[in-house]
Structure 1
């Protein structure tokens, strides 16, 4: 119940940050020296978990990694066929399927023992059923059986009880919402960079966070113990298959909906060994790190200011969360809710690096060229060199405009200001400039014609 309450609070925080435009405002003032450490730490923060998953069977994990590298990077070197683009677009799926098939064959023959999510859930279910049998004194027909049949189609219903909003669940939800918002913003930047598109404008970022918040609210009310956040591996797959579009995301959403209403298909996917999950994380999160490194080229990396900011931010974002994780009892303010909030925030490297990089970027003095920024000609607007050098000197609003139906929805009179004012595309003001000299020349030319 408390986990569901935490999920609901996480969604409320994400929704609030999206509706008020706080996240888009911060992203619009984040230059290359803020985005680079954020994306690098976003990738480095998962290496322990990825190694733990791969340790279930390093051989299968290595096989999946080798297949991913070959299908996405080396296949075009020795295969000049029209099938190569398709193999590259499906490199992750093909690698997982091939490795999964090898694992299934080896497990059937008894050569290896692999752990999957389905096995973990099955073990926990058996333990719970054993506990129920030992404690229940009622009729045995009321006892749950561990060998129940999973249906092919089952539409999930809302949970019978409301989530429990205790002090600890609210504190953990606030920390989770802030961290998920920073992580989602970083995922937007990664996807845009890999697609060679400009950094998302404020209104696009705000809309994304609103959708994440609504998703977390729904999952919490439906009974799920976790919230919704933009997926780093899904965005980084764009760097491997070199393809990405809005229709791809929509099609993925349809597949996820099918999996959500089919427990049998979901159970089949849960049978993928943990080593394969670790291999996919090892490959995809490296794309986030590399994308962050590319932002360093737009700033003056030889500047003493930038050297200190980059080194201090990245080191502290890895060292301090690790220390607070090992010393969980260090924070004792006397209020359990405040302790949970501070402990949750200080053990999240992504939130730590986002706040620290943004603070140092705004407080440590430096020129625009040092920070990888420039001022647009004739205006006071600051633009990132990362967008200018890729040819995006124009407004990115046209790239991130929502579908026409959604635009009409946001243009309704009741929704123009509250609550979706930060999610609407700003109106472009057309300025007409009158040049007196041209008018004079035109008058003189007309006068000359009349004279002759």
Structure 2
């Protein structure tokens, strides 16, 4: 009660009255406000479709066509579990958990080490003439998933993730978010190349529904056309493509067919190529019910799988906190505190550990495209992702239903990824406004970081045999880390920001007169809080558990809310990215 009264006093600051349009926008982005039931289910289904695009890219690149539907169903099931945990005891942000490039690139490096063929080049290198069949590919991939989950869990429990995030200023977050978006452009273009006409149709529909049509449809402040722009565009494009495939005017390919240049490449694929219509119309041979049970064989923890898992876990530990910051900015919510970030990464790790033990070949982390859907639909309710988690559990126990998601044409998946990841780039660019972009220091840091984070991983992919240390596990670790753009940009941006001298104003920082704390101008604009916000506080039962004596020490102390501190709140300008000079600042 003392904390509540204290916060009320601190929240009473002079502010300009907001017009109805601003108030409507604030309400639509409230994580605790639930839309109507039907709209909420439709928004949840939209998240599931976006997640299916990620699964189509990651899972289909590793698993043979025979087992793809069952494995995808299992991944969806574990994504649903992790999503529900994330919204309940994790960061509490409306985020979907999904596989990503953070696990795909190390997995490809692991398969390459098994067979001696440069799989991580993704069709750009000269392949060996006689590739060797992998011994236990699935078990080693599961071992990699298990290790990556342990790394994520360790980063969260020790508090390293929240500690580093608290020192990530605008000139660190901006390059990381930009590279998060740019890192997918090759894969998205590859999926779109399956049929550029279908991809163009989906992109045009997405732009029209999300940016133009809602202006003419005055159904509400944010019309249904904008909120469900992804769902509507995917369904219309899918229907058109299905009709063209039925009439024989369109022929589709699988991910493995597009990624590999040879039939017997080292991807885990079957010898029989599926027919084009299999990607649009479900196959009756797939069972309706198949509950994901514990795998018969344990994950294989070889040196290579451990090395790939460490690389994937480190990269996911950089990308997930960045997604937390991006989601908070799109929601116009206060910046995630350290304990919320640590809990979120712990949930990511738990999800990956469960997935690895139960048979999934890839780990889980916060999904970038699903977070970008918040900005696209202007709807970020926590109840939406919880319904999406339940839908994922239902899909996860029915391979037949999961196959329906797999049957969405790859070109449409590529279009969805292209538009959603573009918002990650745009969100990163917004951080540049808070720093002095004319400063020579910042010009060098930004340009060097972003260019090298794109150029060096591509160079190492093209020269895959450059790393030859004589130790296979060390080779896998280095090959994985050096081909991960997110790892590069996170390390380079952090080091340059904290080693190159510069003033506070250059870096987009300010020192508060009362507390003498160094604050980020980006955080101040959207509302900065040193104490836990209602967005991030776990439910009362979880708080009571964390307050127990045994959980007040290492390693659980990093996940607990700190003692009540002074709260500094600023009123953000909701209609513009530029700060309002007249907005009052409350002092703690």
Same fold (TM over 0.5): yes
How far is 1:333 from its partner? 2.0
- Residue by residue over 1:323-370, the C-alpha shift from the partner in whole angstroms, topping out at 9 and shown as x without a partner, is 111111111222211111111111101110001000000001111111
Match of 2:213 in 1: 75
Query: Residue 158 of structure 1 is aligned with which of 294, 298, 302?
Result: 294
**In structure 1, what is the Cα distance between the partners aligned to 2:327 and 2:165?**
15
Task: Give distance in 2, aligned partners of 1:178 and 1:14.
Answer: 7
Q: Gapped runs of 5+ residues in structure 2?
A: 1-138, 274-282, 568-588
Question: In the TM superposition, what whole-angstrom CA distance separates every residue of 1:164-198 from its partner, at most 9, and x where no partner exists?
Answer: 11111101100000011111111111111111112
More helix by share: 1
CA gap 1:118/1:44 in 2 versus in 1, 3 angstroms: closer
**Could you tell me which of 397, 401, 423 is aligned with 2:533?**
397
1:236 aligns with 2:337: no
Judging changes above 3 Å, is the alpha-carbon distance between structure 1 residues 195 and 292 closer, same or farther for their aligned structure 2 residues? same
Q: Report the equivalent of 1:127.
A: 271
State the alpha-carbon separation in 1 of the partners of residues 322 and 480 from structure 2: 19
Residue 435 (structure 2) pairs with residue 299 (structure 1): yes
1:172 aligns with 308
For 2:420 and 2:198, locate their aligned partners in 1 and report how far apart those are by CA, in whole Å: 17
- Residue 201 of structure 2 is matched in structure 1 by 63
User: Which residue is equivalent to 2:184?
Assistant: 46
**Structure with bigger gyration radius:** 1
Please give the alpha-carbon distance, in whole angstroms, between the structure 1 residues aligned to 2:223 and 2:517.
Answer: 41
Which secondary structure does the structure 2 equivalent of 1:374 belong to? strand
Q: Within 5 Å, which residues of 2 pair with 1:270-349?
A: 270-349=406-485
Q: Distance in 2 between matches of 1:332 and 1:54?
A: 35
What do the CA deviations read for 1:298-346 (whole angstroms, capped 9, x no partner)? 0011111111100110111111111111111111222211111111111
Aligned to 1:357: 493
The reply to whether residue 269 of structure 1 matches residue 405 of structure 2 is yes
Of the structure 1 ranges 110-119 and 307-316, higher mean CA displacement relative to structure 2 is found in 110-119
| Corresponding residue number in structure 1 for 2:337 | 201
Find the aligned partners of 2:176 and 2:554 in 1 and give their Cα distance: 31
Q: Name the structure 2 match of 1:135.
A: none
**What whole-Å deviation, never above 9, does each CA across 1:245-302 have from its counterpart, x for those lacking one?**
2212211111111111111110111100000000001100000000000000000111
Matches within 5 A, 1:12-23: 12-23=150-161
Q: Secondary structure at the match of 2:494?
A: helix
Deviation at 1:77, TM superposition (A): 2.9
Say which is worse superposed, 408-417 or 7-16, in terms of deviation: 408-417
CA contact (8 A) 2:531 2:566 kept: no
Q: Is contact 1:19–1:422 with CA below 8 Å preserved after alignment?
A: yes
Unaligned runs of 5+ in 1: 130-146, 432-452
Alignment CA distance shift 1:299-1:333 (3 Å): same
Distance change (3 Å), C-alpha of 1:398 and 1:165? same
Rate the CA distance shift 1:84–1:400 in 2: closer, same or farther, 3 A.
Answer: closer
1:103 maps to which residue? 241
Contact 2:532 2:561 in 1 (8 A): no
SS of alignment partner, residue 226 of structure 1: coil
Instruction: Specify the alignment match of 2:164 in structure 1.
Output: 26
Deviates more, 1:280-289 or 1:105-114: 105-114
Is 220-229 or 408-417 further displaced after alignment?
Answer: 408-417
Secondary structure of the residue aligned to 1:383 is strand
Deviation track 1:98-150 (CA, whole Å, cap 9, x = no partner) reads 11111111111111112357999xx9876379xxxxxxxxxxxxxxxxx8832
Q: Conserved in 1, the CA contact under 8 Å of 2:217 and 2:223?
A: no
The aligned residue for residue 352 of structure 2 is 216
Compute the TM-score of the two structures, normalised by the length of structure 1. Answer: 0.87
- Determine the structure 2 residue equivalent to 1:8: 146
SS, match of residue 320 in structure 1: helix
Q: Residues 18 and 394 from structure 1, CA distance in 2 versus in 1: closer, same or farther, beyond 3 angstroms?
A: closer
Residues 198 and 396 in structure 1, CA contact (< 8 A), matched pair in contact too:
no
CA distance in 2, matches of 1:87, 1:282: 19
2:234 equivalent to 1:93 = no
**Alpha-carbon contact 2:333-2:527 (below 8 Å) kept:** no
**Contact in 2 for aligned 1:68/1:91 (Cα 8 Å):** yes
Other structure's SS at 2:428 match: helix
1:396–1:367 distance in 2 versus 1, CA, 3 Å = farther
- Provide closer, same or farther for how the CA distance between residues 371 and 126 of structure 1 changes in structure 2, counting only shifts above 3 A: closer
Question: Do the aligned partners of 1:118 and 1:267 also contact (CA within 8 Å) in 2?
Answer: no
Q: Deviations over 1:76-112 (max 9, x none)?
A: 2333334962222111111111111111111111111
1:251 paired with 2:387, answer yes
CA contact (8 A) 1:119 1:271 kept: no
RMSD of the TM alignment (CA)?
2.2
Between 400-409 and 353-362, report the one with greater CA deviation: 400-409
Measured in 1, the distance between the counterparts of 2:184 and 2:454 equals 11
Equivalences for residues 354-433 of structure 1 within 5 A: 354-392=490-528, 395=531, 397-429=533-565
Indicate conservation of the 8 Å contact 1:117/1:270, yes or no.
Answer: no
1:6–1:165 Cα contact (<8 Å) kept: yes
- Residue 56 of structure 1 aligns to a residue whose secondary structure is coil
Structure 1 residues 314 and 429: CA distance shift in structure 2, 3 A: closer
CA contact (8 A) 1:116 1:272 kept: no
